[in-house]
Amino acid sequence: MEAFLVSTGIVALAEMGDKTQLLALILAARFKKPWPIVAGILVATLANHALAGAAGAWVTTLVGPQTLRWILGASFLAMAVWMLVPDKIEADEDGKPPRFGVFFTTVLVFFLAEMGDKTQIATVMLAARYDAIAGVVAGTTLGMMLANAPVVWLGERVTRLLPLRAVHIVSALIFAGLGLAAFMM
C-alpha cells in the first residue's frame, strides 16, 4: 500500500506543470472531446508506466542492494533538482483533424511525450525502490490521471488554482527526502 500511495502522490505533484499536463491542455483545447482524450491518457500512461515499472524491477536483478541504494539515492536527488526546471511544449496549430481520431492520437502523442519524462523516470525509480511493481504502476497511473484529467475537463482554470512553483518545490523536497532516506537504508 505504501508503494501505491507514495507513487500516486509523487507523480501527481511531479505532473503539475509538466509537458504532458500542457499536452493534455492543448489536446482538450484543440479537439474539445474530453472522454476520448482522458481514455487515451489512461491507456498511454498504463502502457508507458508498465514498461517503466518493469525496467525498474529488472534493474534490481542486475545490481546488488548496496549499489542500488546509492543509485536510487542519487537518482532521487537528481529528480529533486529536475523538478525545479519547468517544462514547456510547443503546440502544433495547423487546424487539421487528427489522422487517427482523438483517442488514438492522444494515446500516441501522450505515450511518446512520456518517454524519458520525469514521471516515467520516477516510475522506474519507484519500482526499483519498492518490491511492488503493480502498486507502483497503479499509483503512478492514478497520479497522472489526478493531474491530467481535471485539466482536460476544466482546462486552464485548473492550472491557475495552484501556484506551480510551489508545487514544484514541494515535489523537489519529497524527492530529496526519498533520496536521503535511500542513503540511510
**What does the pLDDT average to over 174-183?**
82
Q: How much is the pLDDT for 169?
A: 81
10 within domain boundaries: yes
**What does the pLDDT average to over 111-121?**
88
**What does the pLDDT average to over 112-134?**
90
* pLDDT of 162 above 70: no
Mean pLDDT of the chain: 85
32 within domain boundaries: yes
93 within domain boundaries: no
123 within domain boundaries: yes
Looking at this protein, which amino acid is placed at residue 171?
Answer: S
**Host domain of residue 144:** 2-86+100-184
**What does the pLDDT average to over 144-160?**
82
Looking at this protein, which amino acid is placed at residue 2?
Answer: E
Distance of CA 54 to the CA centre of its chain: 16
* pLDDT of 106 above 70: yes
136 within domain boundaries: yes
Q: How many domains does the chain have?
A: 1
- Residue 124: pLDDT band with limits 50, 70, 90: very high
pLDDT digits (tens, 9 = 90+) for 1-42: 999 999 999 999 988 878 788 788 888 877 888 999 999 999
Q: How much is the pLDDT for 157?
A: 64
- Residue 53: pLDDT band with limits 50, 70, 90: very high
Q: Distance (Å, rounded) from C-alpha 185 to C-alpha 182?
A: 5
- The Cβ of residue 127 has, within 10 Å, a number of other Cβ atoms equal to 29
- The Cβ of residue 65 has, within 10 Å, a number of other Cβ atoms equal to 8
* pLDDT of 182 above 60: yes
Q: Are 32 and 167 in contact (CB under 8 A)?
A: no
In the chain, the percentage of residues whose pLDDT exceeds 70 is 85
71 within domain boundaries: yes
Q: How much is the pLDDT for 160?
A: 61
pLDDT digits (tens, 9 = 90+) for 60-104: 899 888 887 888 788 878 878 877 876 555 545 455 666 778 999
148 within domain boundaries: yes
92 within domain boundaries: no
